[in-house]
Structure 1
Amino acid sequence: MNGFALKIFGCQMNVYDGDRIASELRVRGWREVPEEEADLVVYVTCSIRDKAEQKVRSDLGRGGRKPLVAVVGCMAQRVGRELLARFPQVRVLCGPRQLGRLAGAVEEAMEGRTTVLLDDDPRALEDLEQIPRRRQLPFKSFVTIAHGCDNFCTYCIVPHVRGRFQSRLPGAVVDEVRSLVDDGVVEVTLLGQNVNSYGTDLQGVSFASLLRSLSAVEGLRRLRFATNHPKDLTDDVIAAMAEEPKICPAVNLPIQAGSDRVLKLMNRGYDVASYAERIGALRSALPDLAVTSDLIVAFPGETEEDFTLSLEALRRFRFDQVHSAAYSPRPGTAAASFPGRLPAMEARRRLNAVNDLQLGIAREINASLLGRVFTVLVDGPAHRGEGLLQGRTATDKVVLFPGQGLEGRFVDVVVADADAWSLKGRLVERM
């Protein structure tokens, strides 16, 4: 029996794809083994920034044993042929929309064949239908509800490597969630490059209607989703969040910049005023809402005034967390040819300023939760701290507390301490 290992880089969609790939290979008789024992290593790759690609190149170039390699996902689509020419162990390339053909291709590769499965048609899709029976946590699962993206933000490689937007049929999504719940899953996170666009290419379907259908699945306890686009976040989605108790009061709403001029250069489709209106509508409907965001600094042509407006946006909107990054040019995107690229040292200064400001805001928000009791889904032992468990609140806050043997259970925890990244507490005895 052949053994395989998975190496996953990048986003949650890649984690979901990796779980499905592993489940399909297992069904076909493969066994998952440590990398040093594997006959096949599957790299599920990311191209969102150059650093993500360099990690894969570095890993492929390491010395030592060279098992057969399949490179899957965005990097395969963008620079796969370069990898094929440079690394002899790479025998399979598979784009994000060809996963349904991957298992057959790796079996052929074991017999000496090299296979290239790239997405020549950005609207074609041959997806892997396998439900992820192998999951990092057996009681949590991701579910992709749409493929590709039509927004073409000027900095973003995703539409170029993942193709055009395409919703999955609602029945297929509901069936998958039901199957996952039957397999022990209590929390599902819906994924898409822009979940708010779900259903725009289907008749009589919307993201809000999908959320309500999934909320009716018996046995599902929590429902999350990411990522949202401010220009497409509609009132009916906010109403569903407020009215359906299974939908977690947590949302990722990327702002990307605090300057209207930069947002226009980014082709984001909204300004700061309309973003503020959406945040206001969310927080009015969901008083306990936690909001995370994404922010890019040093976008080509970003002036000091533009950057100051981004800092002001952080102070104004007070996000629970911000995923910040310095602009990384991606070949083939519009912004890659924009003038006004900032020096690396200046980009680093701006990124550090954003992170320092946000650290203080996150610390203040978390400190305001001292003494409150939250219901936490326990993930397992904490990554740091002997004898501590780690779980998450409905608002997606990480909570650390003493205990053991509670993985997959919901427990009540009172918050006794807090820092910018997590809450600390103790179990509340249930009467």
Structure 2
Amino acid sequence: MISSQTPFMDLRFHVQTYGCQMNKHDSERVFGMLESLGAEAVDSIEAADVVVFMTCCVREAADTRLFGQVASMKNLPLREGSPLSERLVAVGGCIGQRDGERLFESLPNLSVVFGTQNLASLPTLLQSAYSGAGKSAEVLERSTAFSSDLPTNREQPWAAWLPITVGCDNFCTYCIVPHVRGRERSRELDDIVAEARGYVEAGVKEITLLGQNVNSYGRDLYGEPRFAEVLEAVAATGIRRLRFATSHPKDLTDEVIAKFGTLPCLMPYLHLPAQAGSDDVLKRMNRKYTARHYLQLIEKVRAVRPDIALSTDIIVGFPGETADDFEATFNLVKSVGYSQVFTFIYSKREGTPAAKWDDDTPREVVQQRFDRLVEVVQESAYRNNQTDLGTEVEVLVEGTSKRDAGVLVGKSPKNQTVHAPLPAGFTIDQLAGGFVTVRVEEARTWYLRGTVVGIEEASA
């Protein structure tokens, strides 16, 4: 790690993050590392001497966005007073891991490339580029370290991402993640609990456990998954709210499901990616479960926690998807009645088996299927939110509305966005990170709105 007696003391940096929660967590570590060296974080590329892109390569749109944004910075002038002769641009995350030094060929103004396995190398690579040694790249195939060992600067002091695994062993045929995040590795339970306990002592109100597949936690350490034990142990630290992402249906056990009924801090929200409702498509995706098995899991979860909010991921237009396949997916989504669905049109990712498969389904047909699915998703989300109309919900306050600074915004236990006017006599600085009770007077498709009727915690 670079000494604090370096030119980092004079630098300003900006981090742009794309993709999943793991990338957001890694970005917080980038903030922590660079700030610990004396650099100052700024809110815009224009004001930064160093720009770090934490990238995602799950879909083609992410590549396009990154390449366009980096290229557009080529002629962007440096801020007045910058100690650099030209802006340093670093690309990390999944695109950095996938492409490595090849990125220099297509992005001439790029200075540094690093991968998912060597986040800690970023300061050294930047120092090398800063000192005139030229472009620097380091991409490791495997690491024994966890990014959680690095300094951090969390986006919100009252919420924390806590990785329990990294990598993935599932190799779904459409997914690039195992190739850029590596094989699955689990953290020692004692390390997880120690980090969680530290967050609780620091005043964190909500912890989200992270992994490409949290349900398989411990298989590499103990020979079998022990995620239920992780939930129990973290809950015992006294955390107020506990969440996790993401779950693979094939590894969701009865023991984990039971925790929704026995752990008060485990929030009534589950993201369980189905990806498709056709058994033929699921088999080609290498998902290792059937639609029937998936629906049985939903029944079990609702039996334990009837009020639980469910979300999922769905891919439309997977190679070879027939009209009947899509109808099976459509019917599954309609049957479950999700509170939220992340719908995607299939995006070919080079290096995955599905990228080699031909598909003659016209693009307009895929788009029509996608539009149909979105419509039923919106109807379901609206219908689910209506069940909270007239009730009182506990809200963890996050800030104010972008449209109206007089309206607070926060999250309900079911992960719904909730709006309410700031109560008289309180500022958002007093309420942010605390809990309020909101009486729901309006329920829309994607949010609830109401009036604050109780304030549990507020800053002095």
What are the Cα deviations for residues 100-156 of structure 1, in whole angstroms up to 9, with x where unaligned? 2222222222112332221334xx344334456422222111111111101000000
Match of 2:234 among 211, 214, 220: 214
For structure 1, the 5+ residue unaligned runs are none
- The one-letter code of the counterpart of 2:175 is C
Bigger shift: residues 143-152 or 109-118? 109-118
Given that 1:71 and 1:80 are in contact with CA atoms closer than 8 Å, whether structure 2 keeps it comes out as no
**With structure 2 as the length reference, what TM-score do the two structures score?**
0.90
- When residues 64 and 429 of structure 1 are mapped into structure 2, their CA distance, relative to the original with a 3 A threshold, is closer
Paired with 2:54 and 2:121, the residues of 1 have a C-alpha distance of 15
The residue correspondences of 1:153-302 to structure 2 (distance < 5 A) are: 153-203=172-222, 206-218=226-238, 220-302=239-321
Given that 2:100 and 2:138 are in contact with CA atoms closer than 8 Å, whether structure 1 keeps it comes out as no
The residue correspondences of 1:19-418 to structure 2 (distance < 5 A) are: 19-33=28-42, 34-62=44-72, 63-65=75-77, 67-113=87-133, 114-121=135-142, 124-130=143-149, 133-203=152-222, 206-218=226-238, 220-403=239-422, 404-405=427-428, 406-418=431-443
Given that 2:71 and 2:109 are in contact with CA atoms closer than 8 Å, whether structure 1 keeps it comes out as no
Given that 1:24 and 1:130 are in contact with CA atoms closer than 8 Å, whether structure 2 keeps it comes out as no
Bigger shift: residues 111-120 or 390-399? 111-120
- The one-letter code of the counterpart of 1:420 is T
Are 1:421 and 2:446 matched, yes or no? yes
| CA positional deviation for 1:73 | 0.8
Given that 1:215 and 1:244 are in contact with CA atoms closer than 8 Å, whether structure 2 keeps it comes out as yes
Are 1:15 and 2:27 matched, yes or no? no
Paired with 1:341 and 1:320, the residues of 2 have a C-alpha distance of 33
- When residues 426 and 205 of structure 1 are mapped into structure 2, their CA distance, relative to the original with a 3 A threshold, is same
Q: Percent identity?
A: 39
What are the Cα deviations for residues 141-179 of structure 1, in whole angstroms up to 9, with x where unaligned? 111111110100000010111110001111111122222
Paired with 1:107 and 1:208, the residues of 2 have a C-alpha distance of 43
**With structure 1 as the length reference, what TM-score do the two structures score?**
0.95
Paired with 1:383 and 1:345, the residues of 2 have a C-alpha distance of 35
- The one-letter code of the counterpart of 1:211 is L
Paired with 1:100 and 1:127, the residues of 2 have a C-alpha distance of 9
Given that 2:216 and 2:225 are in contact with CA atoms closer than 8 Å, whether structure 1 keeps it comes out as no
Given that 1:177 and 1:188 are in contact with CA atoms closer than 8 Å, whether structure 2 keeps it comes out as yes
Alpha-carbon RMSD: 1.7
| CA positional deviation for 1:387 | 1.9
Paired with 1:230 and 1:374, the residues of 2 have a C-alpha distance of 29
- The one-letter code of the counterpart of 2:17 is I
| CA positional deviation for 1:324 | 0.3
Paired with 2:150 and 2:195, the residues of 1 have a C-alpha distance of 7
Paired with 2:348 and 2:415, the residues of 1 have a C-alpha distance of 31
Paired with 1:69 and 1:339, the residues of 2 have a C-alpha distance of 37
- The size of the alignment, in residue pairs, is 428
- The one-letter code of the counterpart of 2:76 is G
- The one-letter code of the counterpart of 1:101 is S
Paired with 1:272 and 1:429, the residues of 2 have a C-alpha distance of 43
Bigger shift: residues 313-322 or 77-86? 77-86
What are the Cα deviations for residues 324-343 of structure 1, in whole angstroms up to 9, with x where unaligned? 00000000101111122433
- When residues 180 and 103 of structure 1 are mapped into structure 2, their CA distance, relative to the original with a 3 A threshold, is farther
Paired with 1:340 and 1:55, the residues of 2 have a C-alpha distance of 25
Paired with 1:177 and 1:341, the residues of 2 have a C-alpha distance of 49
What are the Cα deviations for residues 300-336 of structure 1, in whole angstroms up to 9, with x where unaligned? 0101111111111111111110000000000010111
- The one-letter code of the counterpart of 1:6 is V
| CA positional deviation for 1:229 | 0.5
Given that 1:100 and 1:129 are in contact with CA atoms closer than 8 Å, whether structure 2 keeps it comes out as no
- The one-letter code of the counterpart of 2:68 is S
